[in-house]
Structures are given as C-alpha cells and as structure tokens.
Amino acid sequence: MPNRCVDLRSDTVTQPTLKMREAMMYAEVGDDCAGEDPTVNRLQSLAAKKLGKQAALFVPTGTMGNNVAVLTHTNTGDTVILDSEAHIYYYECGAISALGGVMPITIDSEDGCPDPDQTEFYLQRDPIRFPKISLICLENTHNRRGGRAISLEQMRIMQSIAERYNVPVHLDGARIFNAAHALGVQAKDIADCVDSVSFCLSKGLSAPVGSLLVGSGDFIAKAVQVRRRLGGGMRQSGIIAAAGIVALTEMVDRLVDDHENAQYLAKELAEIDKLELNLTDFHTNMVVINVQNIGITAPEFVKIASKHDIRTSYFDQDRIRLVTNHDVSREDVEYAADVLVKLIRSIMN
C-alpha cells in the first residue's frame, strides 16, 4: 500500500467541497449588518427551520456562537453551570468571564451531562449569599467525553430542572447533527430540550467557516447586538453563508459514514487489550484512546504517529483523540488503523 497522510486531528480540518466553492463564487450578497444579505438570510431561515426554533443568527465561529449565547442569557456577576470538560469552559480562553463577567460553576460527569442532583443543589441555594445562576450549558455531542451523544432523556431531565428554577438552557451543539444520527432522532428533537443552540458548519459538515445560533425571536433580536459588540457583525458574508447552505442541505446525511469509520477504527484498536477500549463508548466520529498502559505519553505518541503520516491530537498526558471526517475515506481509515496498531505493538515490545 502506498504511503498516505491521514489527518485524524479534527473534523475542523475538512476542506470545502467543490459545490461549496461554486456556491461561494456565485453567491448573491448584501450588507448583513443592515440585514440585507439574501444568502445569509436564507441560511438563517434554513437553520431556524431545521432546528425547530423561531430565528437564527450567522456567526463566524462556534466559539462566538457560544459566547453570544452566554452573554445574551446572562448579566455581569452571574454564574453558569457547565460540565467540567465543556468546550466553553475548557477551550474558549475564559471568554465568558473575560467578556461577560460570568463565572462558571463546573460539575463533574462521566458522560458530559452535569449530574442533575448536583445541578439542583446549586440552583436551590440562597441567592442573597450565593451568586445568581442564570444559565445551564450542555454540550451534545460532547467533545472531551469522546464525541459522546447525550440522550434525549438526560437532556429532558436537565430541561425540567431548569424550568423549575426558571433558568434557560443553552446547548453547545457544535456537532448536533452527529448527535442526532447517533440517537436516531432529528436535530430539532434535541434543540427542543433547550432554549438556544449554537452549531457549526465548519466541522463534520465541511464548510470553510461559520456557525449558527438559534433560539426564540426575542433571544436572537438581543443576540444580534451582542454579536456586533464582539465584532461579529459581518458585511457581505453571504460569500461564506453560501457554503454553509450546501453544508446544511448536502452534508448532514453523510455524517453516518464518519461514525461507521470511527467504529471500524475503534474495533481494530480494541484488538490491543492494554488499550482497554470499550466500543460502546464511541457514539459518533471520535475515538479516544488512553496510552497510559502502553508506556508512552499522549504528546509523545502524537509526535511519533505524525512521523508515520498519521496525524492525531491529544486531550492530556494520557488521552489521544482520533476524529474521522469527510476527507478521510474508508481506505484511509483502514490504512491508519493498520499503521497505528503496528506502532502501538512496537512501542509495547
């Protein structure tokens, strides 16, 4: 088999498709800050409809989508409940605190959904002495929990607690369509459990840039101002929204291929007993392996694998993340699995 480079670092590395590039070329555009970009307006309507919400707002990144949501739902000095490994907490450079004066309360979990009892414990505290909790943030699929899909049942439990305490719920649904495939439901069924959702076009759906924030009409009307404050008011952004429309209409159904490829990869790696992989832990397009038992650190492993042209990333000292995506074919995955299994066996010997 000829040598090939297989990039499993993330689904963010995907290239836009030819159709996306053509759509960008011919996109009809206008000044979106004046609400005059017909392509952005079309994408926003499509997104709102697909997620069953009243309105949507196009933002440049998933990070901005989350931050616009948090800042719209909260006020300075408020707190937000999050899973301790949530992207908003872990990877967004402290934005909710730096930009919104909002403090996180993190709750540990096995699967990415904050424990309901613990959540309720915080919500029922005396608001005179303790900070006001204005928002619960969920993440589905959950990145640092291995692309795990959180069940509708768990989400509804969180929704009913939130309703009881009159606190809204925001979902970081960067990969909501992966979650929908894994759970065998529509994305709007997941969105129905929360007040707002941000989701990305630029991950498994392969668009070059762009995310959407969806919610009620009133919420999005406020969010427009927050987006502007964060510098996310764009002009002829229909150029990029055009690729997003292709992403949303043509790239959702094929995510199932990425899930099957991840399962294949996990199954091959599970042959190595020391990795102690449990295939049921991997629901979507990510496989996480813990290399602690094979006598190497995760950063070292990433370096060695890349010398063999298999690009991976790591979460911490022990855990490697492998992400299947549109630009990685079944043949690429078979090749990568073969190289990685041989590499791990050679490290163990």
* Residue 330 C-alpha from the chain's centroid: 23
Binding part of the chain for ligand TLP, among 28-36, 46-54, 59-67, 300-308 by CB under 6 A, reads: 59-67
C-beta closer to ligand TLP: residue 87 or 227: 87
Q: Say if CB 332 and CB 29 are below 8 A apart.
A: no
Kindly state whether residue 87 participates in binding ligand TLP, applying the rule CB under 6 A. yes
Q: What are phi and psi of 203, to 5 degrees?
A: -110, -115
Kindly state whether residue 202 participates in binding ligand TLP, applying the rule CB under 6 A. yes
Closest chain position to ligand TLP (CB)? 62
Distance CA 74, CA 89 (A): 16
Which position among 8, 47, 62, 70 is part of the footprint of ligand TLP (CB under 6 A)? 62
What Rg value do the Cα atoms of the chain yield, rounded?
Answer: 21
Binding part of the chain for ligand TLP, among 45-53, 60-68, 250-258, 271-279 by CB under 6 A, reads: 60-68
Kindly state whether residue 204 participates in binding ligand TLP, applying the rule CB under 6 A. no
Kindly state whether residue 315 participates in binding ligand TLP, applying the rule CB under 6 A. no
Kindly state whether residue 145 participates in binding ligand TLP, applying the rule CB under 6 A. no
Distances (CA, A) of 167 to 163, 176, 193: 6, 22, 13
Distance CA 231, CA 240 (A): 17
With H, G, I as helix, E, B as strand and everything else as coil, classify residue 110.
Answer: coil
Kindly state whether residue 302 participates in binding ligand TLP, applying the rule CB under 6 A. no
CB of 87 to ligand TLP, least distance (A): 4
Number of C-alpha atoms within 13 angstroms, CB side, residue 135? 31
Q: Say if CB 38 and CB 246 are below 8 A apart.
A: no
Kindly state whether residue 258 participates in binding ligand TLP, applying the rule CB under 6 A. no
DSSP symbol at 342: H
Kindly state whether residue 211 participates in binding ligand TLP, applying the rule CB under 6 A. yes
Kindly state whether residue 61 participates in binding ligand TLP, applying the rule CB under 6 A. yes
Kindly state whether residue 174 participates in binding ligand TLP, applying the rule CB under 6 A. yes
Q: Kindly list the residues in this chain that would bind ligand TLP in the complex (CB under 6 A).
A: 10, 12, 61-63, 87, 91, 139, 143, 172, 174, 200, 202, 211
